[in-house]
Amino acid sequence: MATDPFAVAKEYFYRYAAPLELEKRYPRRDILEHLTTPDRSIEFRLTFQRDDDSNCVCQAYRVQFNDDRGPYKGGIRFHPVVDLAETKALAFWMYLKTAVVEIPFGGAKGGVAVDYQSLSLPEKERLTKRYAVVLLNDIGSQKDIPAPDVNTSEREMGWILDVWRMIHGLYDRAVVTGKPISIGGSQGRREATGRGVVITVAEAAKELGLRLDQASAAVQGFGNVGSVAASLLQQCGVQVRAVSDVGGGVMNEKGLDIPRLVEHVKSGQGVSSFPGGQAISREAVLSAKVDILVPAALEHAIMAENAPAIQATLIAEGANGPVGPDAMDILNEKGVTIIPDILCNAGGVTVSYFEWVQNRQEFYWPLERVNAELEQVMLRAYHAVSDLARREKVTLREAAYRIAITRVAEAAARRGVQ
Ligand code: NAD
């Protein structure tokens, strides 16, 4: 098994695409190569000025993987381990994700290899704006629409919109999604990914006969996705017993008080210093004795080494690619149900689509409408995947891949072969 994240992503794609016999269905084009090769990978040196007047040089990326079903769409990640292979894998999953939830976008991803959290606020703004300036001719509301990912948020999207407006002289709000509401963001976008995670957990729990008001959960990562998922799980009656962030974990057998933990983290502290629980290691959160585990940090959190210790019977992939390749087989053999990332965390890109629609119409929806439409999309996608999985006796991941691959292959074929 390959270790490069993009090579791993491709191996899974080939495995799940095999029964679809795409080459027989679409004989006039090399469909498998088309679906596994990025349309374009942009890699560039990004230099920005530090507060002490020195220059900082970083590697930056934007991968536009596939636009057969609509403009490229995908987040921007600022993190030290960002590289081209990871960005390609994330862009690859993005176009499969937009296909699973049937929204009219393709897939892209971008990032900068930088210790973003250590930068001052002016340095963060200079870096983000520099990134946007370099990519100015490659993004656009009909071309490629960035959004937040790890270490980026509404704030960074506002800065990118500002660059676009200054240089193009156009107030085209739909060039980015996940913006602040005051400049065209959508109600409910910030919470959308975590909300989508919990909608799929509730459906899977019904199918497994697990009552949420008697269930317990652990959440890895307490950023945008993890903190919202934890809050909403608790609102559904789930006892959230363990939570981690990059600095450590916290546990309370009787359930953590999530609103208080959110306030604690907002004040700039890590979860492990929360007085309402005992500090534990990050690793211990993954193997906590709970029914539901939500990995919502980074890729490959669960690998062959720690998979045997997992006690949860339901894993909801809030993060992209949190279950590594060898771990998947171990967990499948243990009978653990995994709601795959390309379905589970698709709520964010779904509400990004709603934001794009609202920007293009300049007509804004109330929160109730956003949440109701999100629920409809997530339920439709979940049940399409779960019905196929049951019918074909395959995992939810394989069913989600089959649905996504079929939709994109069909769109690619309809565009002709010349
Ligand atoms: P974020 O930057 O808001 O939060 C990341 C969290 O993970 C932080 O709490 C950080 O401390 C924690 N973390 C990092 N390394 C960790 C480790 N080793 N152990 C425990 N915690 C760790 O990022 P986010 O937007 O919440 O994204 C999290 C994941 O969800 C990523 O995989 C991202 O691609 C995926 N995702 C995000 C969105 C979105 O809308 N933001 C949408 C779909 C998927």
Asked if residue 294 and residue 151 are part of one domain, the reply reads no
Say if CB 310 and CB 220 are below 8 A apart: no
State both tokens at 170.
């156009």
Ligand 1 center to residue 171 CA distance, Å?
Answer: 30
Residues 6+ apart with CB under 8 A from 123: 48, 49, 50, 51, 56
Of 183, 211, 241, the residue that ends a domain is 183
* Residue-level pLDDT at 158: 98
Asked if residue 340 and residue 221 are part of one domain, the reply reads yes
Residue 241 counted as domain residue? yes
Asked if residue 200 and residue 179 are part of one domain, the reply reads no
Question: Does the CB atom of residue 186 touch ligand 1 within 6 A?
Answer: no
Residue 370 counted as domain residue? no
Residue 16 counted as domain residue? no
Q: Quote the domain boundaries for residue 170.
A: 39-183
Owner of token pair 């980074």: 298
State both tokens at 275.
């007085």
With the most atoms of ligand 1 within 8 angstroms of its CB, the residue from 195, 219, 245 to mutate is 245
3-state secondary structure the chain: CCCCHHHHHHHHHHHHHHHHCHHHHCCCCCHHHHHHCCCEEEEEEEEEECCCCCEEEEEEEEEEEECCCCCEEEEEEECCCCCHHHHHHHHHHHHHHHHHCCCCCCEEEEEECCCHHHCCHHHHHHHHHHHHHHCCCCCECCCEEEEECCCCCHHHHHHHHHHHHHHHCCCCHHHCCCCCHHHCCCCCHHHHHHHHHHHHHHHHHHHHCCCHHHCEEEEECCCHHHHHHHHHHHHCCCEEEEEEECCEEEECCCCCCHHHHHHHHHCCCCHHHCCCCEEECHHHHHCCCCCEEEECCCCCCECCCCHHHCCCCEEECCCCCCECHHHHHHHHHHCCEEECHHHHCCHHHHHHHHHHHHHHHCCCCCHHHHHHHHHHHHHHHHHHHHHHHHHHCCCHHHHHHHHHHHHHHHHHHHCCCC
Say if CB 139 and CB 128 are below 8 A apart: no
Of 120, 155, 183, the residue that ends a domain is 183
Ligand 1 center to residue 221 CA distance, Å?
Answer: 6
Ligand 1 center to residue 239 CA distance, Å?
Answer: 21
What values do phi and psi take at 111, rounded to 5? 180, 170
Say if CB 342 and CB 96 are below 8 A apart: yes
Give the relative orientation of helices 154-168 and 121-134 as an angle to the nearest 10 degrees: 50
Q: Whose CA is nearest to atom 37 of ligand 1?
A: 149
* Residue-level pLDDT at 332: 93
* Residue-level pLDDT at 417: 62
Residue 250 counted as domain residue? yes
* Residue-level pLDDT at 416: 76
Question: For the whole prediction, is pTM greater than 0.75?
Answer: yes
Asked if residue 68 and residue 171 are part of one domain, the reply reads yes
* Residue-level pLDDT at 108: 98
Ligand 1 center to residue 265 CA distance, Å?
Answer: 14
To the nearest 10°, report the CA torsion of 83, 84, 88, 90. Answer: 10
Question: Does the CB atom of residue 60 touch ligand 1 within 6 A?
Answer: no
Asked if residue 143 and residue 252 are part of one domain, the reply reads no
Question: Does the CB atom of residue 196 touch ligand 1 within 6 A?
Answer: no
Question: Does the CB atom of residue 202 touch ligand 1 within 6 A?
Answer: no
Question: Does the CB atom of residue 149 touch ligand 1 within 6 A?
Answer: yes
Q: Which atom of ligand 1 is nearest to the CA of 192?
A: 40
In angstroms, how far apart are the furthest CA atoms of the chain? 64
Residue 375 counted as domain residue? no
Say if CB 310 and CB 331 are below 8 A apart: yes
Asked if residue 161 and residue 48 are part of one domain, the reply reads yes
Domain count, the chain: 2
Question: Does the CB atom of residue 151 touch ligand 1 within 6 A?
Answer: yes
* Residue-level pLDDT at 27: 80
Question: Does the CB atom of residue 223 touch ligand 1 within 6 A?
Answer: yes
CATH of the domain at 339: 3.40.50.720
Q: Whose CA is nearest to atom 19 of ligand 1?
A: 246
Closest to 27 in 3D by CA, of 418, 413, 414: 413
- Residues annotated catalytic, as ranges: 109
Ligand 1 center to residue 300 CA distance, Å?
Answer: 12
Asked if residue 244 and residue 145 are part of one domain, the reply reads no
Q: Whose CA is nearest to atom 27 of ligand 1?
A: 150
Distance CA 407, CA 101 (A): 11
Residue 379 counted as domain residue? no
Residue 374 counted as domain residue? no
Asked if residue 249 and residue 162 are part of one domain, the reply reads no
Ligand 1 center to residue 195 CA distance, Å?
Answer: 15
* Residue-level pLDDT at 2: 53
Length of the chain in residues, anyone? 418
Distance CA 305, CA 102 (A): 35
Asked if residue 143 and residue 200 are part of one domain, the reply reads no
* Residue-level pLDDT at 59: 98
* Residue-level pLDDT at 418: 58
Residue 29 counted as domain residue? no
Query: What Rg, from alpha-carbon coordinates, does the chain have?
Result: 21
Asked if residue 225 and residue 169 are part of one domain, the reply reads no
Asked if residue 221 and residue 338 are part of one domain, the reply reads yes
CATH of the domain at 57: 3.40.50.10860
Distance CA 73, CA 87 (A): 13
Question: Does the CB atom of residue 320 touch ligand 1 within 6 A?
Answer: yes
| Tens-binned pLDDT, residue by residue, of the chain (418 aa) | 556 889 989 988 999 999 999 999 988 778 999 999 999 999 999 999 999 999 999 999 999 999 999 999 999 999 999 999 999 999 999 999 999 999 999 999 999 999 999 999 999 999 999 999 999 999 999 999 999 999 999 999 999 999 999 999 888 999 999 999 999 999 999 999 999 999 999 999 999 999 999 999 999 999 999 999 999 999 999 999 999 999 999 999 999 999 999 999 999 999 999 999 999 999 999 999 999 999 999 888 999 999 999 999 999 999 999 998 889 999 999 999 999 999 999 999 999 999 999 999 999 999 999 999 999 999 999 999 999 999 999 999 999 999 999 999 999 988 876 5
Of 310, 344, 378, the residue that ends a domain is 344
Asked if residue 250 and residue 213 are part of one domain, the reply reads yes
